Amino acid sequence: MSTARWLTNTEQRDWRSFVTVCALLPERLETDLSRRHGLSLAEYDVLVHLSEAPDRRMRMSDLANAVLASRSRLSHQITRMERDGLVKRQECESDRRGWLAVLTDEGMHRLQLAAPDHVESARSNVLDQLSDEEFTELGRLCRKIGSHLHMVR
């Protein structure tokens, strides 16, 4: 039987603060996007990735990896977004088994409308709460943890 490596009181305090931010921040960003633009955070993430891709299109499997979603979950997300005219599916010409998600003009328009408000929400909820040095350090720490989590995924 292994012995648990219990957290010290200070570690416990800091861990709980981290968990709280991990829960509340996406909720806040989601609320702001939904209220102002009728988009979920997941939809916004898909729109951003497609907008940055060559010809505004990505293989569904690559998009699933980019947005950290299972292929099944992304497929359902894309179906909902297709109904709203934000994206469309297109058969991959180089591989008839694959499908592409393509950002529509309407999807790009909605992204362009939402982006300034989303950035302001990120600024007011995170960046404005930290000094430049603190935010740089936060980014460094998140990259370190993220790198580990990607490896064990």
The per-residue pLDDT for 70 is 95
Domains of the chain: 11-152 (1.10.10.10)
pLDDT digits (tens, 9 = 90+) for 42-89: 999 999 999 999 999 999 999 999 999 999 999 999 999 999 999 999
Question: b or e along 60-85 (b: 16 or more beta carbons within 10 Å of the residue's beta carbon)?
Answer: beebbebbebeeeebeebbeebbeee
Long-range contacts of 126-131 (CB under 8 A, 24+ apart): 126/25
The per-residue pLDDT for 153 is 85
The per-residue pLDDT for 98 is 86
Confidence check: pLDDT of 31 > 80: yes
- How confident is the model over 106-116, as a mean pLDDT? 98
